[in-house]
Amino acid sequence: MFKPMDESAQVIKQLTENGYSLPKKVGVIYSEVKREYFPTEALYITEKDAFEEAKIISEYISKLGIESNIYPGDDTLVAKLQKDRPDMVFNLVDSVKGVDSLSSAIPGILEMLEIPYTGGDILGLALCFNKFLTKELFLSAGVPVPHFQLFNNPNDVLDPSLRYPLISKLNEIHGAVEITQDAVSENEKHLRERLKFLMNTYKQSVIVEEFIVGKEITAYVLEGQNRKTYLAEKIFNKPGEKYVFATFDNQWVDSEENRMSYKYEKTEDNQLKEYVRKAFDIAKMRDYAKFDIRVDISGRYYFIDSNCNPAFGPKELGTALGYIVEDIYGISFPEILKRLIINTMKGHVVDYTS
């Protein structure tokens, strides 16, 4: 009886037929996570499963017939990489000792060791963890964003051109941390209280931007032999809520209510894809990225969030990559791995004699 090949075997066959050879050894680097590194439970929750997620991704890589090892992004990393000498690595590090912006140190280490890696380089990651600079870059490239202001002090003078409602976001932290219904302010008194709380808790600047009422689209970019953009609209199920958006709890707290709060539906928009291409390039992103865009009642776009090296993994890990690229567009996770391996190894020769 004919037995169909599994997805991993099909991927290997496609690579061979197209003249590509898989790397011999691949590493997966993940965030070293300890509760004491993080100022709040919310921030810790976004990374607490980093080790288990890295193991699952490593298992998928192993099914491609590649030796796969996982490494914590800590002070042992250099010695372990020098010892094992992987041909390339998947860089999944979102923070170093609980600090998101320090994750840009990982590409620096890999560059010095001359090990190819997935995702953003030093500059790309550094830009990602400064939302203010990213928004300024988008404006310079003609990529639309809401009107915004950076606050370095809770008492900074408020730009009078900003219109309520306003939403406050941590400038250097992603993962929807502190994105709650209380993040939206309808008056200056509430806004000042929110700024004080965020700055006192997280010791960083805060972006305040106009809240855009309308639909929300998530764009996922995936490179390989060519670059593809995948769009999906968030369909919300939040009756009775005045301001409708995906909160931290919706994305991170497992409950029936949160699982039902929104779903993704496929959409197409060539003009939006062109904006996404510009945003990807101007923010120095590589391999894959995710953008959240609001579309108001007049059809105007507003890029409200961008993620270099967004949460990576199959649908079973609850990633946007899984829900959108795998589930809606029908591209298997082994195929996604193949694309990133090809894109990362372009121009690199693997020594199979060692």
pTM value > 0.75 = yes
Task: Band the pLDDT of 118: cuts 50, 70, 90.
Answer: very high
pLDDT at 258: 87
Instruction: For residues 334 and 301, give the distance between their C-alpha atoms in angstroms, rounded to a whole number.
Output: 33
pLDDT at 349: 52
Question: Domains of the chain (ranges plus CATH)?
Answer: 7-119+334-340 (3.40.50.20), 147-210 (3.30.1490.20), 215-331 (3.30.470.20)
Instruction: For residues 106 and 58, give the distance between their C-alpha atoms in angstroms, rounded to a whole number.
Output: 18
pLDDT at 224: 85
Q: Which residues sit opposite 90 in a β-bridge?
A: 28
pLDDT at 2: 38
- Asked if residue 7 has pLDDT above 50, the reply is yes
- Do 235 and 264 touch, CB atoms closer than 8 A? yes
Residues 321-345 have pLDDT tens digits of: 999 999 999 999 999 999 999 999 8
- Asked if residue 190 has pLDDT above 60, the reply is yes
Taking residues 118-123, what's their average pLDDT?
A: 96
Taking residues 174-184, what's their average pLDDT?
A: 95
- Closest of 175, 110, 157 to residue 307, by C-alpha: 175
- Specify the length of the chain in residues: 354
pLDDT at 3: 41
Residues 62-87 have pLDDT tens digits of: 999 999 999 999 999 999 999 999 99
Taking residues 237-255, what's their average pLDDT?
A: 93
Average pLDDT, the chain: 92
Put residue 127 in one of left, alpha, beta given phi > 0 → left and psi -120 to 50 → alpha: alpha
Taking residues 11-33, what's their average pLDDT?
A: 77
- Asked if residue 53 has pLDDT above 50, the reply is yes
- Asked if residue 354 has pLDDT above 50, the reply is no
- Asked if residue 353 has pLDDT above 50, the reply is no
- Asked if residue 154 has pLDDT above 80, the reply is yes
Question: CA dist 131 to 2, 176, 217, Å?
Answer: 53, 13, 19
